[in-house]
Amino acid sequence: MSEEKRVREVKLEIPGDLYIGLERLAREEGYSSVTEYLLSVIKSLITPSGRVSLEDFSRLKVRFERYIQDEINKRFSVIDTMRSQIAELYERLDLIQQKLSELESLIQSVYTQKAKPPGEVQEPTRAKKPYKTGIERLKEEKVVFESKLPSRVQRDRLFAYFEREGAVVLKLTRERIAVDPEYWREFKQKLLSLSTNVEDEVRNALGDKGFELWKALYSDNAIIFDSRARKWKFVLNTVP
């Protein structure tokens, strides 16, 4: 067998990431293995009639490695760009979340702040009153009617906050009403035990706050009085 036709083995040690890149390139070019792909590339770089010396082969090896590295760098540069864009997106999302939290705190403080008469001079206080959140104020007031909120309060955010905190939010036709869960259970128990629809008697049984809530539900047809059974009933799927 002549020296030209004799098969020789060439070993090439490359980093793992380069090998992964070669596998991907081989698949893209339709080769079943990296070996076949490398052999094809080498054949394409060497003319059929040319002879390759050891020096030429060394230069070819360097050229080949540079070619592989360039191809892999092109693909990795796209990945690096995507990573940078994703990191920037996460930073922007964190900033938006921070701004939303600040806005929510501002809404709560506006809601909890009591209105002062014009021209009133605030006297210095010896001890600062503890800050109360919106849900704490709701627990004290029992019921919050959307129609009674100041115009500066963002209603959608406030009632979304109440829902997240576990308050009962009644979505009536005319307005939304937030109710303390404990007070809501007490209100329903009292109402279901009533056997009258006379307003004065209802007020005496439910109290002023409960009567106001009853009136809003009744005017919105969320509750009805069964004259035969002499009982109040909640309309299905209207209230929790």
Write the pLDDT tens digit of every residue in 16-37.
Answer: 888 888 888 888 888 888 888 8
Q: Which of 97, 95, 129 is nearest to 112 (CA)?
A: 129
pLDDT at 115: 46
pLDDT tens profile 107-127: 877 776 654 555 555 555 555
**pLDDT value for 48:** 55
Mean pLDDT, the chain, rounded, equals 82
Measured in residues, the chain has a length of: 240
Tell me: pLDDT of 205 over 90. yes
Give the span between the Cα atoms of 107 and 152, in whole angstroms: 9
Q: What is the pairing mode between strands 223-226 and 168-171? A: unpaired
| Highest averaged pLDDT of the listed ranges 77-91, 164-178, 223-237 | 164-178
Does residue 50 register a pLDDT over 60?
Answer: no
Confidence of residue 179 (pLDDT cuts 50, 70, 90): very high
Among the listed residues 191, 203, 200, 198, the one whose alpha carbon sits nearest the alpha carbon of residue 231 = 191
**pLDDT confidence band for 235 (50 / 70 / 90):** confident
- Nearest to residue 134, comparing CAs of 102, 94, 161? 161
CA 129 to chain centre: 34
Do 55 and 44 form a contact (C-beta atoms < 8 A)? no
**What is the pTM assigned to this prediction?**
0.47
Q: Look at 40-49, 137-146, 185-194 and tell me which has the smallest mean pLDDT.
A: 40-49
pLDDT of residue 200: 94
Distance CA 125, CA 10 (A): 88
